[in-house]
Amino acid sequence: MNNESVELRINGQTHQLEIAPNRLLLDALRQDLGLTGTKCGCDDSSCGACTVLVDGQPQMSCLMLAVSYQDAEITTIEGVAHGDEGSADLDPIQRGFILEGGAQCGFCTPGMILTAKHLLAENPDPTDQEIAEALSGNLCRCTGYVQICASVRKAVELIRDLRGEELPAARAL
């Protein structure tokens, strides 16, 4: 099979690759670009470890052909923090995961964070049920999800603090 020239926009940067037309986006990210934060857990979209954002929507990169996403903006976990590598500021969602212990072994964490990022972009004040539903496609074998949901709730608080907003007094996050 002959390679194709592919241009992918990932984390705000354009990358030129020469890859096989059947190359999965997951493999292009990890093997060709060295973006190893996106994990390969199942190869059949069952676990969510390979979640990336494509034009802001969570997608499983283990099922996506890289050549099909040349006109898309792809965000991996490496693109979530703000700033450059030397002085990157963690996103409130990343800080929430640190503060609430949402990352145990860390394998599912990138997919969880990207899924939560999408959730909070769409719904900045989700209920516990909405958080659980949003994260339902991402499997974790370590935490039992209590710390992960608490991490998303903490991110909501951190985002509100950054914006100078008050938390609703009687609302369960």
As a whole number of angstroms, the distance between CA 155 and CA 149 comes to 10
Q: Which of 81, 102, 78, 103 is nearest to 154 (CA)?
A: 102
pLDDT value of position 102? 93
For 51-70, the pLDDT digits (tens) are 999 999 999 999 999 999 99
Could you tell me the CA-to-CA distances from 41 to 34, 69, 94, 140, 170 in Å, in that order?
17, 21, 21, 11, 39
Residue 84 has pLDDT above 80, yes or no: no
Q: Which domains does the chain have, with CATH numbers?
A: 4-79 (3.10.20.30), 85-163 (1.10.150.120)
**What is the rounded average pLDDT of the residues 58-85?**
93
Check residue 89 and report its DSSP letter.
Answer: B
For 102-144, the pLDDT digits (tens) are 988 889 999 999 999 999 999 999 999 999 999 999 999 887 7
